[in-house]
Structure 1
Amino acid sequence: MSAIPADLPTPTTDEDPKPYPALHLTDEALLHASLLRLLDGRDDRAARLASLRVLGSAYRGLGWRPWHAAPIGAALLAAPGVCLRRAWRLVERTAARVSDGPAWWPAEVIGHDRDVDTIAALTVRPLRRLPFRAGQAVPVCTPGRPGRWRWLSPANAPRADGTVEFHVRALAGGSVSGSLVHEVRPGDLLYLGPPAGSGLELAGGADDLLLVAGGTGLAPLRALVEQVAEAPVGRRVTLVVGARTFADLYDAIALDKLQQAYDWLRIVPAFSDDPEAPPAEQGTAIGLAIHHHRPGQHVYACGPPAMLAAARRWLPIAGVPADRLHLPTLGQR
């Protein structure tokens, strides 16, 4: 293919401590599709940031320079020149903020489970270890939707075997999330971009934690629980898990195992529309979080937009200081 100029360097020698994938056909097609999707302009802000994260790393790792814009642009015939120049500047600025490393990691799907019809838990094994921290977000792209990068947060702290678990809800109009839930199967290959801070990384110290999850917002908070388990340092953790009814609660088996394994962990279900739930479990996730909040806790909340809006409004009123309230800064779809 002609999308990538032949003179772009690809440092893959044994002496390079950070090798990059060679630009074989699949890599070239993925890079071409990512550029086209960015220029298309139809993605929301979060998806554009995910694409820029990947393209900025490609720019840095492949040694792109301003004079490469013209040959790349010549291959993108559908893109107006002014749009290409604007996108190129965005990619350049992103490249200045990312660290050295691959633009993406191919990852094989080794597990695909659906506790709830619209939610899937995917376990993937990157062909090279993905360097991420609990609470971070990762751009993810499917072969069926090349160039469409979406943020997902690992549901686990880094594992010895290098596998990563993602929780995905199929959203209306979300082609990537729908593909991950309904189309992807074990043996398929996904692409993972460079991890990024999401605002949910664990604060230092040994302060207790109050974690508030709604929907697949549970994923990064479960990863924080696993991180604490590796070095509890006297912390106590309360995890409030919101769902509409008991039937809508997913990942229940994993949560039950965590509850049984650690005496410093308390898991509180919050059912907003289930009259058969015990009184102590009836209410919204934010409402029950306010009830369980104690001074000195760091509070992390992750979930759908309505829940996060309630968190921004009510948790400060309930006495959570601004420097102890942690909300996601990246979206997913």
Structure 2
Amino acid sequence: MTGAAGDDAVIDEVAASFRAGLEAYCPGLLPERATALVVAALARLVSGGGDRVGRLALLAVLGKVHRRYRLRPEHGPLIGAALAPVAPRLCPPQVSWERRWRRAWALIERAAGRMGDGPAFWPAEVVGRDLAAEGIVILTVRPWRRLPFRPGQAVPLCLPQHPGRWRWYCPANAPRPDGTVELHVRAVPAGIVSRTLVHEVRPDDLLHLGPPVDIGLSLPATPKPPRDLLLVAGGTGLAPLRALIEQVAAAPDGCRVTLIVGARTIADLYDAITLDKLDQTHPWLTVVPAFSHDPIAAPAEQGDALTLGLYHYRPGQHVYVCGPPAMLDTARHRLPAAGIPTNRLHLPTIQ
């Protein structure tokens, strides 16, 4: 998307023009309230969609839009024709709009085949903000309608300040009676959305959540959940693993859980109060911090999270790992080589 098209006001203007054109071709195809979000996502996808992970988030939302509004193959050319007059606002002049649109529509149709029914996005209000550590914020948001997620799933998120930029975040909690969702966000240097979430978003602000998606970190439901778990977290990869702990806490059923929480130093360990409470409340849970660069840490807590994870691993455990891409790449090779069966090793499929 060009810089101009990334501006919220420009997207609103383009969305109004698109909607007028679409109504001429196919009245009532998309509701007015969804138009700006859909146009921003389409613009982002057709113009490149950023990195692979960002495109997957975009396609999860647009695939659900396709399912939600029962779009058919013949709608593709109609939507493309409605977008064509505003294409110069969405893509550089040298870009072949028709070719890119055909490719984008094929991706959307493929994504729709993988999505179930239900809403494509949920407006959500920020109701809590806690700066948990330098560059890390814990946000509590309340969707206007209950978000039907399961622990271990990921949810696309989009901010009004950056229309069309959808990013994945994993809820750090199991579903709550009040419907709130806790998100852990680290600001990364190239992350426009993450830096806005950490430094600018405040309570009462609005954002949008997309459809929850399985990413390989959910507990199996059948025939029975695993009885012994080893959870290894790096940084904000703690979020989905903490949600699994809350799920187990609802029905422990003899399960034993060991949580390894990796950080560079003691000062970098965020959400420590919640971890202490979990450790003290649940006798079946053992929380072990792992400090990779802190010489004053206790000897049993020195080392990277994967090394301490292997030390605490016991045969028969299911192992869940979530953290930065480099950590996951290492885990994918190191843990099976150390004897952990691949059918008991769970890593996120989106990274």
Q: TM-score, normalised on structure 1?
A: 0.93
**Alpha-carbon distance between aligned partners in 2 of 1:316 and 1:206, rounded to the nearest angstrom:** 19
Specify every segment of 5 or more residues in structure 2 that has no aligned partner in the other structure, as ranges.
1-15, 92-96
1:236 to 247, 251, 256: 256
1:96 corresponds in structure 2 to 113
- Partner amino acid for 1:53? A
User: After superposition, what is the alpha-carbon deviation per residue over 1:41-77, rounded to whole angstroms, capped at 9, x for unaligned?
Assistant: 1511111011001011111111222333334223242
User: After superposition, what is the alpha-carbon deviation per residue over 1:241-268, rounded to whole angstroms, capped at 9, x for unaligned?
Assistant: 0000000000111111111110000000
Q: Tell me if the contact between 2:76 and 2:105 (Cα under 8 Å) persists in the aligned partners.
A: yes
Q: Tell me if the contact between 1:8 and 1:64 (Cα under 8 Å) persists in the aligned partners.
A: no
Mapped pair 1:277 → 2:284: no
Q: Tell me if the contact between 1:108 and 1:188 (Cα under 8 Å) persists in the aligned partners.
A: yes
Q: Tell me if the contact between 1:10 and 1:23 (Cα under 8 Å) persists in the aligned partners.
A: no
Question: SS state of the match for residue 227, structure 2?
Answer: coil
**Alpha-carbon distance between aligned partners in 2 of 1:206 and 1:321, rounded to the nearest angstrom:** 14
Question: SS state of the match for residue 18, structure 2?
Answer: coil
Tell me the number of residue pairs that the alignment of Structure 1 and Structure 2 aligns: 319
**Alpha-carbon distance between aligned partners in 2 of 1:233 and 1:142, rounded to the nearest angstrom:** 40
1:48 to 27, 43, 55: 55
Question: SS state of the match for residue 211, structure 2?
Answer: coil
- The Cα of 1:207 is off from its aligned counterpart by 2.2
1:2 corresponds in structure 2 to 17
Q: Tell me if the contact between 2:219 and 2:225 (Cα under 8 Å) persists in the aligned partners.
A: no
Mapped pair 1:170 → 2:187: yes
1:134 corresponds in structure 2 to 151
- Higher mean alpha-carbon deviation, 300-309 vs 64-73, is at 64-73
- CA 1:208–1:8: 2 relative to 1, 3 Å: farther
2:169 corresponds in structure 1 to 152
Mapped pair 1:84 → 2:101: yes
User: After superposition, what is the alpha-carbon deviation per residue over 1:80-104, rounded to whole angstroms, capped at 9, x for unaligned?
Assistant: 1000011001101111221111110
- Partner amino acid for 2:48? G
- Alignment map for 1:187-266 (pairs within 5 Å): 187-203=204-220, 204-266=224-286
- Partner amino acid for 1:211? L
**Alpha-carbon distance between aligned partners in 2 of 1:148 and 1:243, rounded to the nearest angstrom:** 29
Matched-pair identity in %: 61
Q: Tell me if the contact between 1:124 and 1:164 (Cα under 8 Å) persists in the aligned partners.
A: yes
- Higher mean alpha-carbon deviation, 285-294 vs 70-79, is at 70-79
Question: SS state of the match for residue 176, structure 1?
Answer: helix
- The Cα of 1:8 is off from its aligned counterpart by 5.2
- Higher mean alpha-carbon deviation, 74-83 vs 294-303, is at 74-83
Mapped pair 1:312 → 2:312: no
- Partner amino acid for 1:283? G
Mapped pair 1:57 → 2:78: no
**Alpha-carbon distance between aligned partners in 2 of 1:95 and 1:9, rounded to the nearest angstrom:** 20
**Alpha-carbon distance between aligned partners in 1 of 2:171 and 2:302, rounded to the nearest angstrom:** 28
Q: Tell me if the contact between 1:140 and 1:152 (Cα under 8 Å) persists in the aligned partners.
A: yes
Question: SS state of the match for residue 122, structure 1?
Answer: strand
1:268 corresponds in structure 2 to 288
- Alignment map for 1:180-191 (pairs within 5 Å): 180-191=197-208
- Alignment map for 1:14-33 (pairs within 5 Å): 22-24=31-33, 27-33=34-40
- The Cα of 1:9 is off from its aligned counterpart by 4.2
Root mean square deviation of aligned Cα: 1.4
1:293 to 308, 313, 324: 313
Q: TM-score, normalised on structure 2?
A: 0.88
Mapped pair 1:109 → 2:118: no
- The Cα of 1:10 is off from its aligned counterpart by 6.2
Question: SS state of the match for residue 216, structure 2?
Answer: coil
**Alpha-carbon distance between aligned partners in 1 of 2:299 and 2:251, rounded to the nearest angstrom:** 34
- The Cα of 1:318 is off from its aligned counterpart by 2.0
**Alpha-carbon distance between aligned partners in 2 of 1:266 and 1:165, rounded to the nearest angstrom:** 22
Q: Tell me if the contact between 1:51 and 1:149 (Cα under 8 Å) persists in the aligned partners.
A: yes
Specify every segment of 5 or more residues in structure 1 that has no aligned partner in the other structure, as ranges.
12-21
- The Cα of 1:330 is off from its aligned counterpart by 1.0
Q: Tell me if the contact between 2:230 and 2:309 (Cα under 8 Å) persists in the aligned partners.
A: yes
Higher helix share: 2
- The Cα of 1:276 is off from its aligned counterpart by 0.5
**Alpha-carbon distance between aligned partners in 1 of 2:39 and 2:49, rounded to the nearest angstrom:** 17
Q: Tell me if the contact between 1:9 and 1:62 (Cα under 8 Å) persists in the aligned partners.
A: no
- The Cα of 1:296 is off from its aligned counterpart by 0.3
- Partner amino acid for 1:252? A
Question: SS state of the match for residue 2, structure 1?
Answer: helix
1:69 to 53, 71, 76: 76
